[in-house]
Structure 1
């Protein structure tokens, strides 16, 4: 992307990041679901690498904001399965022709939305944690949205627990996904710098999100997340076709 000719695109991308960061900071989830399809509409260069890179900063901020409430027993089960799913996701990206990535991306986002809407909440058993962890790794690497399988597990859990626990899980997921994308030749220093240009939007969204936690409920955040993700994915699919 020629940054000297894309200031409007950067402004729009930062506005998308503000909204996504507000929802994520308030409810513990939603950044990738909102940002991925909308950023892809602005420019496909933003996803998944730069978006994952910038979301890493948000996860670190949220982790520092409530690390005392992290549920370590659940994290220990999730992390190795996320790593396994990440490796599978990187392999899929290597096998998919470049000219069909837009279609694959939008379809996977719509699948993510469907999982979030229709899948029933699962018990937090080691087996379910492992399955959802692997799915999160796969979807995080291919779309930048690791959260949907985890929403199925954590949608009825207290936000005081969900926010910091997911911050640990997402931080790990983003790091291993970025490493996998770099190995696959789909993330570079240039794309990392592009991600850094989204920091203003992230900072503003985090600041607003902390102040609306008492007003933006998980239900409202969920409606916003699913509505924006669905609309963005449909538009992207139409454009890609």
Structure 2
């Protein structure tokens, strides 16, 4: 199986998980793509995130009836994404990949075991800073938001997260385009990922009706932990090749 086909399969699975659980697209797709097609992270993955989140927001649009609930997170996430895009290296060093992987495993694991961050005003902006930086680095803004955001209504949970991811992604792409442009290689890699979006859409729409609302957040955190393990393995493999 070629790397392009593996990348499309990874995206299809990530799309299905996103539409079903409300999160997981970047958390799952980025580590898998770093393993099979590293050039697809972050810019091509950010580009395909836009149609995925548009579909996700439309699928659960009824959940936005009460309004958008992640404004305080967006307020700091957008500047953080812009700043990180300006200074982030084109190719992530193994040490950076390792640090990201450890962060995802530790934070997601703690949240799954019952840890709750304090409900104080500074938490949401802090989550936004971390989320925006991760969006520009590896197209995975989900983990900090999953830790702080809770909504028992499945449609509202999925819709708010989809809109949030869409806003942060568009901000990251816009600044990257303005700063250094998006070249033909990135556009070609994006095109190779699009069949995965098309394939994962109907599967995710079907799965969305099967996932119990109380399982949405644990499912997203579990994916974050697994994604962190994949990043750690990626960093370890890179270090072995460098010896």
Superposition TM-score, scaled by structure 1 size = 0.84
Kindly indicate whether the alpha-carbon contact (under 8 Å) linking 2:101 and 2:229 is maintained by their aligned counterparts in 1: no
Match of 1:47 in 2: 41
Match of 2:216 in 1: 218
Match of 1:239 in 2: 237
Match of 1:23 in 2: 17
Report how far residue 109 of structure 1 moved. Answer: 3.2
The CA distance in 2 between the partners of 1:222 and 1:73, in whole Å, is 20
Change (3 A) 1:124 1:27: farther
Over aligned residue pairs, what C-alpha RMSD do you find? 2.5
Which stretch shifts more, 132-141 or 77-86? Answer: 77-86
Can you give the 5+ residue segments of structure 2 that lack an aligned partner in the other structure? none
Can you give the 5+ residue segments of structure 1 that lack an aligned partner in the other structure? 1-6
Count of residues in correspondence between the two structures = 232
Aligned pair partner of 2:189 in 178, 188, 194: 194
Q: Does 1:111 align with 2:109?
A: no
The CA distance in 2 between the partners of 1:157 and 1:17, in whole Å, is 27
SS in 2 for 1:212: helix
Report how far residue 203 of structure 1 moved. Answer: 1.7
Report how far residue 123 of structure 1 moved. Answer: 6.5
The CA distance in 1 between the partners of 2:179 and 2:160, in whole Å, is 29
Kindly indicate whether the alpha-carbon contact (under 8 Å) linking 2:103 and 2:228 is maintained by their aligned counterparts in 1: no
Match of 1:229 in 2: 227
Q: Does 1:63 align with 2:57?
A: yes
Which structure 2 residues correspond to residues 176-195 of structure 1 after superposition, within 5 A? Answer: 176-185=171-180, 187-195=182-190
Kindly indicate whether the alpha-carbon contact (under 8 Å) linking 1:20 and 1:30 is maintained by their aligned counterparts in 2: yes
Kindly indicate whether the alpha-carbon contact (under 8 Å) linking 1:136 and 1:147 is maintained by their aligned counterparts in 2: yes
Q: Does 1:131 align with 2:134?
A: no
Kindly indicate whether the alpha-carbon contact (under 8 Å) linking 2:151 and 2:157 is maintained by their aligned counterparts in 1: no
Superposition TM-score, scaled by structure 2 size = 0.83
The CA distance in 2 between the partners of 1:205 and 1:188, in whole Å, is 26
